[in-house]
A and B are shown apart, each in its own frame.
Chain A
Amino acid sequence: MPIIQIRGAVKVFGSITAVAGVDLDIDRGECFGLLGPNGAGKTSLVRMIVGVSPMSRGSIVIDGKDITREPRTIKADLGVVPQEDNLDPDLNVVENLTTFARYFDIPGGEARHRAMDNLRLFELQDRQKAKVEDLSGGMKRRLLIARALTNRPKLLVLDEPTVGLDPQTKHLVWRKLRTLKAQGTTLLLCTQNMDEASFLCDRLAVMNEGRIVALDSPSELLSKHGGSQVIEVRVRDTEKKASVLSLMSERGLQWQEMEEAIYLFQGDGQVLDEGLASELLVVNQHVPTLEDVFLKLTGRSLKEP
């Protein structure tokens, strides 16, 4: 049985529908990535999954328990790493962890033991008496992840865990997350970082405007939506643009327009015939990346005005 079962989840804020009906199963022990532009509904979906935001409609079952009926028992086995730092600034580093352990009814001795283990895991043992405000951004993020491991969660939910981190810290976090996955923890990861998604995730869901628009492994997503080559072109004679675009549609080419640039997704065996090629000026061509797929699925224009 999947560890997360989501059926018809909807979240409405006034006149805005943040999540517009999501069905999703996440398997035990996998690392599942949620991709999507800002405002796509990732955070709203995740907040419903971890039980801090009530669903407008639908159902979410975690580890066989309904999130609306048994939030306490579900949360006891859940780790949450928020996007925003919400460490307790009134407490020092180690107290942040031991106080957090108390929220899970973990007794004092065991709490201190786990706190030290988790601090060592994230190379923070030398800063245990430091004030939270004196930590660097990277240390705070490591401490947030260390804190989320306090209750030894079956499911760890991370919202953009490496945003703003230097490459060293980013790789440290990635390695630790891989270790956790190898130990059987299920990871649910919201991210905008395509390297992170392809490095860590077994499967990815791309969200746009509150819905899942694609769901597959990173390599399948690439081959299904990226084609074999992405060619950025411009139309030589802008007055002919409309006729050139209709010609491209006739040829069965997939393309996307962004201001004067046109991105062609060339599939296997597809070639630009001479009639079309002579109308186009090739600016750049490259092997498709996850980022191309992302932009193709969610549009190149800014999502937030």
Chain B
Amino acid sequence: MNVSYRSLRLWQRNRDVFFKLWRSEVPGFFAEPIMMLLAMGFGLGTYVALDDGERYVEFIAPGIIAAYAMFSASFECTYGSFMRMKHQKTYDSIIATPLSIDDVSAGEILWGATRSLITACVILVVVAAFGLVDSPWAVLVLPLGVLTGLMFSSIALFFTSVAPSIYSFNYYFTLFITPMFFVSGVFFPVSAFPDAMQHLTWIAPLTPVADLARTMVSGQLGEGNWWGLGIILGYTGVFFPLSLVMMKRRLLR
């Protein structure tokens, strides 16, 4: 691997573009999670009774932070990266400068992680404004958002490196991202599943994220499934180098 500080240059480029065009990002990553919180939490939630008497909106708030952190990184490093790579040929111009292909890939992943962090920040503020945060430990969801972003950006960029066309991402989202949104403990506890299925849901990378986010927002750190961090780091440890290798194979001809 040939990653250097220069991956920061690609990160800066993406940051500049984001802050130029941020208005187009508002509906997907800021308005939608808030609508989700209102509709599911305050709407549907009034009909849902949880075992321990917790309000449903309090239950899903950390789940929504986790899920939208996932979506932000995933969109950025699939559609976003693919557009830059294939349609805009931005990478072609950049690899003729002192940046290496690995710098470009690492920069994309870092930026994807930053998008997750920004999303987590915004939703955390909204959730806090609704009075749904019980503990100052909730700020830990920000570093968790970064780790989540690194993981999902790495997985997404790996998929991008093998995607034949931009339409391929329909499969990625329909068969991988959306199912996780529903089974990883965002909307209902994974304990609702039969035992065998519960173990399976922990394979999904979103499950440890939703679980830890809930631990942090509730402030009950002692009861957290901290080994979930191992799952997150494990996926990142596999997919970060893999995506770099595969992007190089795709771009270096």
Q: What is the interface of chain A, defined by CB distance below 8 A to chain B?
A: 13, 50-54, 71-73, 75-76, 78, 80, 82, 84-91, 95, 99-100, 102-105, 147, 151
Judge whether B89 and A90 touch: CB under 8 Å.
Answer: no
Judge whether B98 and A103 touch: CB under 8 Å.
Answer: yes
Complex: chain A residue closest to B13, CB-CB: A99
Q: Which residues of the partner chain A approach B96 to less than 8 Å between Cβ atoms?
A: 50-52, 75, 78, 80, 82
Known: A86-B88, A88-B88. A52 touches B17 (CB 8 A): no
Which of A82, A88, A104, A151 is the one whose CB lies under 8 Å from B90? A88
Q: What is the interface of chain B, defined by CB distance below 8 A to chain A?
A: 4, 6, 9, 12-13, 16-17, 20-21, 88-90, 92-100, 252-253
Judge whether B88 and A89 touch: CB under 8 Å.
Answer: yes
**Cα of A100 to Cα of B111 in the assembled complex, Å:** 18
**Cα of A85 to Cα of B253 in the assembled complex, Å:** 19
Judge whether B16 and A72 touch: CB under 8 Å.
Answer: no
Q: How many A-B residue pairs have CB under 8 A?
A: 70
Q: How far is the CB of B107 from chain A (nearest CB, A)?
A: 11
Complex: chain B residue closest to A92, CB-CB: B20
Known: A53-B253, A90-B20. A100 touches B89 (CB 8 A): no
Q: How far is the CB of B186 from chain A (nearest CB, A)?
A: 32
Q: Which residues of the partner chain A approach B97 to less than 8 Å between Cβ atoms?
A: 75-76, 100, 103-104, 151
Complex: chain B residue closest to A90, CB-CB: B17
Most buried by B among A13, A76, A91: A91
**Cα of A105 to Cα of B9 in the assembled complex, Å:** 8
Complex: chain B residue closest to A150, CB-CB: B97
**Cα of A50 to Cα of B21 in the assembled complex, Å:** 33
Complex: chain A residue closest to B99, CB-CB: A103
Judge whether B252 and A75 touch: CB under 8 Å.
Answer: no
21 A-B pairs with C-beta separation under 8 A: A50-B96, A52-B252, A71-B100, A72-B4, A73-B98, A75-B98, A80-B96, A84-B89, A86-B88, A86-B92, A86-B93, A90-B20, A91-B20, A95-B16, A99-B13, A99-B16, A102-B9, A102-B13, A103-B6, A103-B97, A103-B99
Q: How far is the CB of B91 from chain A (nearest CB, A)?
A: 9
Judge whether A82 and B20 touch: CB under 8 Å.
Answer: no
Which of B6, B17, B252 is the one whose CB lies under 8 Å from A53? B252
Judge whether A91 and B93 touch: CB under 8 Å.
Answer: no
Q: Which residues of the partner chain A approach B89 to less than 8 Å between Cβ atoms?
A: 84-86
Judge whether A87 and B93 touch: CB under 8 Å.
Answer: yes
Judge whether A72 and B98 touch: CB under 8 Å.
Answer: yes
**Cα of A228 to Cα of B13 in the assembled complex, Å:** 57
Q: Which residues of the partner chain A approach B90 to less than 8 Å between Cβ atoms?
A: 86, 88, 90
Which of A90, A104, A105, A147 is the one whose CB lies under 8 Å from B21? A90
